[in-house]
Amino acid sequence: DFHLAHGGKMVAFAGWSLPVQYRDSHVDSHLHTRQHCSLFDVSHMLQTKIFGSDRVKMMESLVVGDIAELKPNQGTLSLFTNEAGGILDDLIVTNTSEGHLYVVSNAGCREKDLTLMQDRVRELQNTGGDIGLEVMDNALLALQGPTAAQVLQAGVTDDLRKLPFMTSAVMEVFGVSGCRVTRCGYTGEDGVEISVPAAEAVRLATALLENPEVKLAGLAARDSLRLEAGLCLYGNDID
């Protein structure tokens, strides 16, 4: 309803209904992101928590990244691989200071990613491993562009200059508590992805849009921004 109210043109994507663009043209949205900042709803992405003392061992058995060496609240872009070393999906793994791994992977690969992780969790549990998995029902909002940090700073008490690329922190954002803010995004610009309790997503998006710097952008701009920046997409550039 929020997207339709803002002129979103909805399309089917990986079992979700998502806005491909809004009232602005695709090119205008693309350029606005490069010059100011845009808000993307990426809630379709799969968000999971991996907890237990064997969480790093479990994740390192599935991805090519060095998860053990991640500092608290530091993340890395990595790849799920199959037994032959072929790529199943790309994902971001964050080692949170709250004692779990926070994993964000692609909606189009949701079922196989989840099966892969759940099967490995069961294997470890069956051999006495201390491991668990929880699928999060949070929404995910990406604020992307050169003025993103300036816009967000007005709504948080944390100093965002102390949140470098690929690190995250849990904070209150424009009055919404329990948000995980990660300095990342898939547009080639500075920006953040905000994991927000689903019931508060519209409230947070509305608060962000009150700043004239911020405009909504859809899947079309997300694709062209990614492509222009040379960022690979699973199933398109990575297979």
Span 106-122, pLDDT tens digits: 888 889 999 999 999 99
**Does one domain contain both 144 and 220?**
yes
Instruction: Write the pLDDT tens digit of every residue in 29-52.
Output: 999 999 999 999 999 999 999 999
Q: Please give the pLDDT value at position 114.
A: 95
CA-CA-CA-CA torsion sign (118, 119, 121, 125) = positive
3-class state of residue 221 by DSSP: helix
Q: What are the pLDDT digits (tens) for 182-210? A: 999 999 999 999 999 999 999 999 999 99
Domain that holds residue 50: 46-135
Q: Do both 39 and 142 map to the same domain?
A: yes
Q: Region 121-144: what's the mean pLDDT?
A: 97
Give the tokens for residue 91.
Answer: 């994902």
Residues sharing a CB contact under 8 Å with residue 82, sequence separation 6 or more, in sequence order: 88
8 Å CB contact between 42 and 144: no
135, 154, 170: which is the final residue of a domain?
135
Domain count, the chain: 2
The pTM of the full predicted model, rounded to 2 decimals, is: 0.95
Point out the domain boundary residue: 135, 151, 180: 135
Identify the CA nearest to 55 among candidates 103, 89, 92, 91: 103
Domain boundary among 120, 135, 150: 135
The proportion of the chain whose per-residue pLDDT surpasses 70, expressed as a percent, equals 100
Residues 32 and 92 in one domain: no
Q: Is the pLDDT of residue 239 over 80?
A: no
Neighbour tally for 71: CB within 10 Å: 9
Query: Are 104 and 29 in the same domain?
Result: no
